[in-house]
Structure 1
């Protein structure tokens, strides 16, 4: 799994960064990718990556401020021109259905694929054979949500040394035992899968928060996450301004990561007052509180490794 930042700026596009959008590459066996937010110009940012719209399977909107949704019209429309575009799920706060409906009604646009729009409720909002997605409300000037993406646990590895000692021949029997089955050997020995398979591999957890001031729900969503993506609109010392506009500072993001026991903090949604040259100092502020902190930049890719 990988996180690819398509836009890391707050409020409006800047020369060095676009507004909010993040691509989450799903596990290889699941294929495709998901988007979290779609600020203005998101489809243009995608053109600078290997990602194709016909591989986009879901979009998760954190809140309806323009710098998080103004890229939706073009993105959804352009997807119709990509062969093989299957159904697309769109999740977002109350009002996202009306937004999409009016957008297409007033522009006389039509899609060549099924668009499934779902407005958020707290708890599990989506589940398939690979991932579970939970949502919870945050604290911002408008309803803003955070998402917790949890990968399904994977079966543990076969204990080949134990299999050889028991006399299990390589081949189909290995697959049956890996799946948790039971086999009987020629000499009558009964071998159970649970006895020759190691502990399950814990699924990775990625938490992505919308715009927010520090709040309890942020910590709950990020509990034991391998990666927490948190806005850091302002630097340390600007807590009063951040609170006024419903945002967080670098240090506040780091405190949330520390309290949640997250493995890694990726900061994004930086004010246009900060240039790329400021990113190292913003990282240092956060690292004094949470050492494994990083400032994201447009097109930067982070591999998601399990912290256990």
Structure 2
């Protein structure tokens, strides 16, 4: 599980940074990736990465401001041309379906795959055997949501030496044991999964927030997360401006991470007033004063989500 930042700027793109888009790479877990927000030119950023639109499985939109949304029509239309034939599910606030239906209809765009649009107002919006995605309403000028992605506990590693001692070779039996099924050894003995499986692997938690001022929902979504992606639009000397525009400062992001017992914090969604790495480093320094395990999101950078 890894994160790729396809855009880290707030509001408008600059020569150095594109607007918001974040990919959650689940190549080992699902052979796919999920996209969180899709600002203008996101598909161009994907072309510059190792990602393939044919492997895109889900898109989660935090809110309907253009810097988080205007890249969607082009990306959806291009996906077919890049070999995307599997179904794609798009999640987001009420109004998302109207936006997509209107743009795709007026432009007479064709998609050679099934597109499902799920509008939501928070809660559990997706769950299967491997993952659960929860959402909460944040505090922004329009409805803006954060997402908490929980990887479910996975079986521990098989004790290969013990299996070999029972004469069990690699094959379908291994899969049955990993799925929690017992095996009849044929001599009156039953081999149970707990006899040959090590300690289960704890699932990881990733929290990706939309635009927000500090609010209780941030804590609900971020509690005990292995990785928190939080906007840091301004330095704290502009806290009044941040409040007026429903955004957060780097310091406020760090406080949220500390209070929520997060393992790692990644700052993103930087105001275009901070033009270069030297200026962004000041944002990082401000956050690290409160929460040392903080890093800056960088264009096309890949961050591994480590187990705590």
Three-state SS of the structure 2 residue aligned to 1:134 is: strand
| Match of residue 37 from structure 1 | 37
How far off is 1:83 after superposition?
A: 2.2
How far off is 1:177 after superposition?
A: 4.0
| Match of residue 169 from structure 2 | 171
CA distance in 2, matches of 1:258, 1:30: 31
CA distance in 1, matches of 2:6, 2:176: 43
Three-state SS of the structure 2 residue aligned to 1:45 is: helix
| Match of residue 239 from structure 1 | 239
| Match of residue 204 from structure 2 | 204
- Cα separation, partners in 2 of 1:212 and 1:232, compared to 1, 3 Å: same
The answer on whether the counterparts of 2:94 and 2:121 sit within 8 Å (CA) in structure 1 is: no
State whether structure 2 residue 141 is matched by structure 1 residue 141.
Answer: yes
How far off is 1:105 after superposition?
A: 2.2
Matches within 5 A, 1:216-227: 216-227=216-227
How far off is 1:259 after superposition?
A: 1.2
| Match of residue 283 from structure 1 | 284
State whether structure 2 residue 297 is matched by structure 1 residue 299.
Answer: no
CA distance in 2, matches of 1:71, 1:269: 16
The answer on whether the counterparts of 1:207 and 1:222 sit within 8 Å (CA) in structure 2 is: yes
How far off is 1:289 after superposition?
A: 0.8
Bigger drift between 124-133 and 148-157 goes to: 124-133
CA distance in 1, matches of 2:54, 2:12: 27
CA distance in 1, matches of 2:137, 2:295: 25
The answer on whether the counterparts of 2:213 and 2:242 sit within 8 Å (CA) in structure 1 is: yes
CA distance in 2, matches of 1:188, 1:108: 66
Structure 1: which 5+ runs fail to align? none
- Cα separation, partners in 2 of 1:186 and 1:130, compared to 1, 3 Å: closer
| Match of residue 102 from structure 2 | 102
Bigger drift between 121-130 and 53-62 goes to: 121-130
The answer on whether the counterparts of 1:16 and 1:276 sit within 8 Å (CA) in structure 2 is: no
CA distance in 2, matches of 1:36, 1:11: 16
Three-state SS of the structure 1 residue aligned to 2:28 is: coil
How far off is 1:107 after superposition?
A: 1.7
TM-score (norm 2): 0.93
The answer on whether the counterparts of 1:7 and 1:42 sit within 8 Å (CA) in structure 2 is: yes
How far off is 1:187 after superposition?
A: 6.4
Bigger drift between 139-148 and 151-160 goes to: 151-160
Structure 2: which 5+ runs fail to align? none
| Match of residue 270 from structure 2 | 270
Three-state SS of the structure 2 residue aligned to 1:248 is: coil
Q: Give aligned pairs, total.
A: 305
- Cα separation, partners in 2 of 1:180 and 1:140, compared to 1, 3 Å: same
Deviation sequence 1:200-238 (CA, Å, 0-9, x none): 111111110000001111111111111000000001222
| Match of residue 64 from structure 1 | 64
Three-state SS of the structure 2 residue aligned to 1:237 is: helix
- Cα separation, partners in 2 of 1:185 and 1:278, compared to 1, 3 Å: same
- Cα separation, partners in 2 of 1:187 and 1:44, compared to 1, 3 Å: closer
CA distance in 2, matches of 1:74, 1:186: 59
CA distance in 2, matches of 1:63, 1:16: 24
CA distance in 2, matches of 1:179, 1:289: 43
Question: RMSD of the alignment, in Å?
Answer: 1.9
- Cα separation, partners in 2 of 1:128 and 1:277, compared to 1, 3 Å: same
CA distance in 2, matches of 1:156, 1:188: 26
- Cα separation, partners in 2 of 1:177 and 1:245, compared to 1, 3 Å: same
The answer on whether the counterparts of 1:55 and 1:85 sit within 8 Å (CA) in structure 2 is: no
